[in-house]
Amino acid sequence: MAVIGIVILWSMLPAKSKMPEDLTIDVNKQYFATVKMENGGEFVIQLFPDKAPITVDNFVKLARSGYYDGTTFHRVIDGFMAQGGDPTGTGMGGPGYEFQDEFSDLTFDKAGILAMANSGPNTNGSQFFITFAPTPHLTGLHTIFGQVIEGMDVVNSITRRDPDTATTPGDAIENITITEQ
């Protein structure tokens, strides 16, 4: 009887929808994201639409809509990475849809790699992370879709934070500006 109750409760949970498949980016162009932090400083990320077109398209759409404005880096682990993109600041939020992983020849071989945070295969949404160091154990588990090309000192200065024990919000993103060439 308990199993039936669990199944019924699980079936009542809201389903995550799939992200629309139509791309709004041009995979033959170069895209850059300038992330301006509320506490000062900014950094620039080169996006890789040729390697992860669905992921870059999703990030560009969310950034251009203002989705990331005011969100925080809610999980920041020294020597590992800074994770952001969750409107709730808890690590549990997202845009209400999920989309598939996109793996390529890119690897987590250096600091400044931009990748999607996920809760398992094909569960990408809005959360992303930037590495502080090489993290080769993540290759093949998280979609890489960019690289910090300017302002790594700003990334490195993001306040370290564990969302489970933190008493203050993480460092906030003022806005993300997307440019294309």
Task: Considering the candidates 23, 32, 103, 138, report the single residue annotated as catalytic.
Answer: 138
Do residues 136 and 112 lie in contact, with contact meaning Cβ atoms separated by under 8 Å? no
- Which secondary structure element, helix H or strand E, spans residue 58, and what is its range? helix 53-65
Token pair of 3 as six digits: 């199993």
Q: Active-site residue 28, yes or no?
A: no
pTM reported for the whole predicted model: 0.88
Mean pLDDT, all residues of the chain? 91
Euclidean distance between CA atoms 84 and 90, whole angstroms: 10
Which one from 83, 124, 127, 147 is the annotated catalytic residue?
83
46 catalytic? Reply is no
> For residue 143, what are the CA distances in angstroms to 69, 94, 140?
22, 16, 7
Q: Which is the catalytic residue, given 62, 73, 106, 118?
A: 118
Determine contact, residues 88/127, Cβ cutoff 8 Å: no
Residue in 58, 73, 127, 142 annotated catalytic: 142
- Cα–Cα distance for residue pair 62/75, rounded to 1 Å: 20
Task: Please confirm, yes or no, whether 23 is among the known catalytic residues.
Answer: no
Largest CA distance in the chain: 60
pLDDT, tens only, 112-168: 999 999 999 999 999 999 999 999 999 999 999 999 999 999 999 999 998 888 788
3-state DSSP assignment of residue 135? coil
**What CATH fold (topology level) applies to the domain 27-180?**
Cyclophilin (2.40.100)
d(CA 64, CA 1): 48
- Which one is catalytic: 62, 73, 75, 145? 75
Catalytic annotation present for 62: no
How close are the terminal C-alpha atoms of the chain, in Å? 60
Q: What value does the mean pLDDT take over residues 5-17?
A: 44
| pLDDT at residue number 18 | 59
Answer yes or no: are the C-beta atoms of 130 and 173 closer than 8 Å.
no
Q: Which of 23, 32, 46, 80 is catalytic?
A: 80
Q: Which residue from 35, 37, 32, 78 is spatially nearest to 169, judged by alpha carbons?
A: 37
Catalytic-labelled residue, pool 43, 73, 129, 132: 129
Task: Tell me if residue 118 is catalytic.
Answer: yes
Q: Is the pLDDT of residue 6 over 70?
A: no
| 147 has catalytic annotation | no
